[in-house]
């Protein structure tokens, strides 16, 4: 079973926020979209997706609503709140700084 620790700590939040910034999605759709977009590199176990979503909702960054999904079942759709949008900006900034820094270190040539 893969755990969220497979991802860099905290990046799951960033990915979820980003996906939801594009359009409101339900849990199943999110898991599919993650696999698709990262070309199966980012493997998030289905189970650990939901606690993460519930945590984002608890923090007030996403909100949810029950709507009919494509297969005519009722599904819980998550969408980004204004606070979530701000959080996304913050975390994106953090990520860019971090990855830039790491990239720079990795590119150092050995003398």
Partner 1 sequence: MTIDRLLHVVHRRWRSLFRRSRVEAELAEELDNHVQHLTDELRAGGLDTGRARTEALRRFGGVERHKEACRDARGLNRLDHLWRDLRHAWRSLLARPGFTLVAGTTLALGIGATTAMFTVVEHILLRPLGYREADRLVVLQYERMNTVAAGNFLDFQKEARSFAGMGAAEWWSPNVGGGDAAEEIQGLRLTAGIFPLLGVAPLLGRTFTADETHAGAEHVVVLSHQLWQTRFGGDSTVVGRTISMDGAPFTIIGVMPRGFGFAPYWATGARLWAPLVLDARAADRTGASLRVFARLGDGVSLEAARREVAAIAARLEQAWPGTNRGGTVVPLKELVVGDVRDALQVLFAAVTLVLLIACANVAHLQLLRAAAREREFALRGALGASRSRLLQQSLVESFLLALIGAAGGLFVAWGGLRLLLRLAPGRLPRIDSLSLDLPALGFVLLAALGATIVSGLVPALAASRADLHGVLKEGGRGNSEAPGRRRLRALLVVSEFALALMLLIGAGLVLRSFDARRRLDPGFRPDGVFSAVINLRGSAHQPGERREQFFHDLQQSAGALPGVQGVSMINHLPLHGDSWRLSFVIEGRPLAEPGDGPSAYFRVVMPDYFGTMGIPVLSGRDLTEDDRRSGNQVVIINQSMAERHWPGQNPLGARISVGALATGADWYTVVGVVRDARQTGWTGPVLEEMYFPWLPPAAPGARGGETLAASLHPGTMTLVLRSTRPTAELLREVRGLVTALDRDVSVSDVLTLRDAVDEQFAGPRFQLSLLGGFALLALVLAAVGIYGVMSYTVMRRAQEIGVRLALGAAGGDAVRLVVGQGMRLALAGSAIGLGGSLLLSRYLRSLLFGVGPTDPFTFLGVPLLLAAVALVALAIPARRAARVNPLTALRSD
Contact status: 48 vs partner 1 (CB under 8 A): yes
Contact status: 18 vs partner 1 (CB under 8 A): no
Residue with tokens 């999605």: 25
Q: Cβ closer to partner 1: 79 or 101?
A: 79
Contact status: 67 vs partner 1 (CB under 8 A): no
**The tokens of 97 are what?**
């700084």
CA 9, CA 11: separation in Å to the nearest integer?
6
Site size toward partner 1 (CB under 8 A) is 29
CB 30, min distance to partner 1, A: 10
DSSP E strands, the chain: 25-26, 62-68, 74-80
Q: Cβ closer to partner 1: 47 or 93?
A: 47
Contact status: 21 vs partner 1 (CB under 8 A): no
CA 76, CA 50: separation in Å to the nearest integer?
11
Distance between first and last Cα of the chain = 41
Which chain residues interact with partner 1 by CB under 8 A? 1, 26-28, 31, 45-48, 50-52, 54-55, 57-60, 63, 66, 69, 71, 73-76, 81-83
């Amino acid at each position: 079973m893969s755990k969220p620790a497979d991802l860099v700590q905290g990046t799951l939040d960033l990915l979820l926020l980003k996906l939801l910034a594009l359009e409101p999605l339900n849990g199943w759709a999110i898991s599919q979209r993650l696999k698709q977009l990262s070309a199966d590199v980012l493997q998030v176990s289905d189970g650990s997706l939901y606690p993460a979503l519930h945590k984002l909702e608890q923090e007030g960054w996403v909100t949810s609503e029950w709507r009919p999904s494509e297969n005519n079942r009722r599904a819980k759709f998550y969408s980004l709140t204004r606070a979530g949008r701000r959080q996304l900006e913050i975390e994106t900034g953090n990520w860019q700084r971090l990855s830039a820094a790491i990239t720079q270190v990795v590119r150092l040539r050995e003398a």
